[in-house]
Amino acid sequence: MNAAGGPPALLIIGIGNPSRGDDALGPLLIERLEALPGADVELLTDFQLQVEYALDLQGRRQVVFVDASLDAVAPFTFTPVVAEADASYSSHELSPGAVLHAHEKLYGEPPPAHVLAIRGETFELGEGLSAAAAAHLEAALLFLRQRFFDTCS
């Protein structure tokens, strides 16, 4: 909770599997952000998005979904997300747009949201983080620090 008694203004959700090489980028970024001095932010991590995350969006002014991507331009992309029903409703995981859509159906207008897609190269089980992904992680961390945190030196 923040000083006003509500949830922190910013929610950052890191998505990925730490056992699958560069898929660990989302959780690793959350670990790095946890080490920063206090800010009005809540940090969550999970292997995949679930419909229950729609509850976590309540009372937020901004949401950032962080995930590894083979399709992102290196080092990362930062794109807005819109609420939309999509095929992920019937799969084992939801897209960020589907989470926003669930929030919209339950509670009304969702908060502004973005996807920070960090370029990954290898996603094999048991692999470590690739050198390229490690560099992309550093660039994404610097970007978030400059955009949302006042701790950048």
Domains of the chain: 10-148 (3.40.50.1450)
Lowest mean pLDDT, pick from 100-109, 120-129, 144-153: 144-153
pLDDT digits (tens, 9 = 90+) for 3-62: 567 799 999 999 999 999 999 999 999 999 998 876 789 999 999 999 899 999 999 999
pLDDT at 72 over 50: yes
Contacts of 71 (CB under 8 A, 6+ apart): 117
Q: Quick one: average pLDDT of 57-69?
A: 96
Give the strand order in the sheet containing 113-119. 41-46, 10-15, 62-69, 113-119, 76-81
pLDDT at 38: 67
Euclidean distance between CA atoms 49 and 98, whole angstroms: 9
